[in-house]
Amino acid sequence: MRALIIFLGFVVAICAKKDFHGDQVLHIQANSEEQILLLKELHNLQHLKLDIWREPLKPALPVDIHVPFESLQAVRAFLEFNGIHYSVMIDDVQVLLNKEKEHMALSRSKERNNKSYDYGAYHTLEEINMWMDNLVADHPSLVSKIQIGLSFEGRPLYVLKFSTGGVKRPAIWLDTGIHAREWITPAVGIWTAKKIASDYGKDPSLTSILNTMDIFFEIVTNPDGYDFTHKSNRMWRKTRSINPGSSCIGVDPNRNWQIGFGGPGTSTYPCDETYCGPFAHSESEVRSIADFILFHGNFKAMITIHSYSQMLMFPNGYTSTPVPNKEELHTLAKSAVDALASVYGTTYTYGDMYTTIYPASGTTSDWAYDNGIKYSFTFELRDTGHYGFLLPAEQIIPTAEETWLALMKLMEHARDNPY
Amino acid sequence: MSPFKWVVLGLLPLINGFALLKDHLQSFEMTRTAMDSENLHNELPHSTLHLEEAEAALEKSMELNPDLRMEKLNPANYRATRAAQVAVHYLNYKQGSLFCHFSRRKIENATLEEIPGVGNKYFLTFIEDETPSKHATGVYTAEILFRHTITKMAPEVNSTYYGCVKNISEDENTFYVRMRKQHQLVAGKYIPDGHGNIPTEMEPFWHLGYTASSYIMWKESNESTLFNMETVLSFQQLETENDSLAFDYVVLLHEMVSQEVTQWTMQVCWSPFQGVKVLHYSQSSENIQFPGDAKAIMSPTSLDK
């Protein structure tokens, strides 16, 4: 027993030197060969445990020595007695090491792969961009990254393309983050993109979808706004474009589409949150998507994701007139909402936008439908107002998990009902 | 369909709602009917409701008027949702509890009655929650009247619901006693913060802000609004001469239809005996910065035990 204690004490002593509290690094300026010799002698005193960073060579060159806390008094006394000039370069080595460690941990989170990416937390734009590149790197035969344009402030607008080949296969469009403050949506978007990439080849239904269709997913549809919510105003909704003649910034990207533009549920006042903009597709964030989809010409489904209210809606928003396939969309929405509820019991209401939430003109969903995309849906994710836009991070993954089942219903329907 | 049949149809969901009540009289602490007059602010009747009395009261308020315009609404219709939200705000303020709140449940039935010369009255029944929790309570039925007057009037609410479990008042007393012991006035910011995070020590101040905000949200509501409280931007405890705790609060409210997020200041009083009272409020023009990555802070960082 005693031997064990002594041994442990020995181990502790060895490990003890991992702590550099109070250690200093002295920057020494010798002014003569004599002083250089003295410093060399100092180095030979083993019990001081000095760690030389810069050797004493000649008087013109400075000498840097890491002095352990226990030896500090002795070394300083020696230097002062011999009139050797010095200054304290680092006055606490441990503090510096701690800072380094912190910084490294931070950079490690910006790693070269997504193994440490926290799907249950909200991330900055930089972190999301890095994650996107890592996703492509991890699944190179399935995922690629396209740039469809630039935001008002010049940020690239990235879209992830999930494709197993073919040329302009029938496609599904997904977007999150069009309204900056709806943080849960890009967070769910990231989890969902990872899910699509991971489940291909494993889940039969998803695999069959991707064997015949492509998925295009824009995660941060409004990067200027998203960045602004992190740094300045958590409640920002619109784009960050300058409105000539007004001090107010931004246009509501979900009122800026060419469908019933300027109609009910929009404002013509630049300071309002539902400002539709000076003209349809004035916002590059909107125009880039519209151009991309029209140029592609073969989109079959459009799913745009917002928060909050727990609703699944289909067109129309700009008029109370129902769309021709209203019954089909109603039935499909019901099956999606039931599937969603089966995970955690979260209840959604569903219906056409005009009567379910409010009249709204110039929306993504209505525009897509008007351009021939029959399966056009808008999600409003959790919650119903308890936290609203400030949904706690621990709800990210549960929200993503339940929403996934609804998304699958919609995508399966598009796969099974080609047109 | 004759107006009479519409009237009966409109009544039916309410009668079914009361059937629920009978079952719940045994299982829950209290069943109360909130009256729509502000005079009864702190005098909520604690008597249990008898089914026959409720039905009689209903019938009395119902008149077989040929001018009556009753319309059954789709429960998913935003008009029903907005009316339901008003009932929840009203009840949260009237109940005045720090730790127990009403939440808006899924609507089972909704009827709209247009009363010429008066306004619109909504009759709602709600789908029951299977798992009521300690801090959440629910509404069974609600009648909400929006008067169409030139000057703004707060909506009038009549409803049946089940009250909070007894342990809540113990929690409130504990918090009250702790607050009275503090040596410095408490203040804080960002509850929740941009990531939806609420430090445990700051939860009571969030609850207080939420209940107090319900007063504003009820008063400011009409058929074209739907309010929610987003965050407590800041709170500052004030000195008081009586037993109540008092605070200055600044909150952010989100209005869904316009999508505007606006800043409101209010002076709030609370004690376990009096409940939550808002002394005055106003929309604030001063803009407190709220960056998404700012963290919730409190001074002192934690309350003395």
Q: What is the pLDDT of residues A334-375, one digit of tens each?
A: 999 999 999 999 999 999 999 999 999 999 999 999 999 999
Q: B136 vs A208, which has greater pLDDT?
A: A208
- The answer to ipTM > 0.85 is no
As a whole number of angstroms, the distance between CA A65 and CA A412 comes to 69
Is pLDDT of B17 > 90?
Answer: no
Q: B92 and B55 in contact (C-beta within 8 Å)? A: no
Cβ contact, residue pair A309, B256, below 8 Å: yes
Strand boundaries in chain B, DSSP class E: 31-34, 69-73, 101-102, 107-115, 119-126, 136-137, 139-147, 156-162, 187-191, 227-238, 245-255, 260-271, 275-283, 297-299
CA B160 to chain centre: 13
* Whole-number pLDDT of residue A105: 59
* Whole-number pLDDT of residue B163: 73
Mutate to test the interface with B, among A390, A391, A395, A399 (most CBs of B within 10 A): A390
Cβ contact, residue pair B254, A388, below 8 Å: yes
Q: How far is A94 from chain B (nearest CA, A)?
A: 27
Lowest mean pLDDT across B48-52, B139-143, B208-212, B243-247 = B48-52
Mean pLDDT across the stretch A169-185?
98
* Whole-number pLDDT of residue B116: 92
Partner residues linked to B72 by β-bridges = B111
Partner residues linked to B257 by β-bridges = none
Nearest to A390 among B231, B257, B258 (CB): B231
* Chain A residues with CB-CB distance to B257 below 8 A: 358
pTM of the shown model: 0.78
* Whole-number pLDDT of residue A8: 63
pLDDT-derived band of residue A12, with 50, 70 and 90 as boundaries?
A: low
As a whole number of angstroms, the distance between CA A197 and CA A199 comes to 6
Nearest to B78 among A124, A237, A355 (CB): A355
Cβ contact, residue pair B192, A393, below 8 Å: no
The residue of chain A nearest to residue B75, with distances taken between CA atoms, is A349
Lowest mean pLDDT across A96-110, A111-125, A336-350 = A96-110
Mean pLDDT across the stretch B94-112?
89
Q: Does B283 touch chain A (CB under 8 A)?
A: no
Within 8 A by CB and 6+ apart from A41, the residues are: none
Cβ contact, residue pair A235, B77, below 8 Å: no
The residue of chain A nearest to residue B262, with distances taken between CA atoms, is A235
As a whole number of angstroms, the distance between CA B84 and CA B61 comes to 20
* Whole-number pLDDT of residue B29: 32
Alpha helices in chain B (DSSP H): 3-27, 51-61, 78-95, 167-181, 203-220
Average pLDDT, chain B: 81
**CB-side neighbour CA atoms (13 Å) of A43:** 17
Cβ contact, residue pair A183, B106, below 8 Å: no
Cβ contact, residue pair A273, B259, below 8 Å: yes
Mean pLDDT across the stretch A109-126?
84
pLDDT-derived band of residue A69, with 50, 70 and 90 as boundaries?
A: confident
* Whole-number pLDDT of residue A111: 55
Q: A55 vs A325, which has greater pLDDT?
A: A325
* Whole-number pLDDT of residue B28: 34
Q: B284 vs A147, which has greater pLDDT?
A: A147
* Whole-number pLDDT of residue A308: 97
Q: Does B261 touch chain A (CB under 8 A)?
A: yes
* Chain B residues with CB-CB distance to A385 below 8 A: 85, 104, 228, 254
Highest mean pLDDT among A43-47, A161-165, B58-62: A161-165
Cβ contact, residue pair B195, A230, below 8 Å: no
As a whole number of angstroms, the distance between CA A336 and CA A346 comes to 12
Catalytic residue numbers of A? 380
Strand boundaries in A256-383, DSSP class E: 299-307, 311-314, 349-352, 375-381
* Whole-number pLDDT of residue B34: 37
* Whole-number pLDDT of residue B43: 33
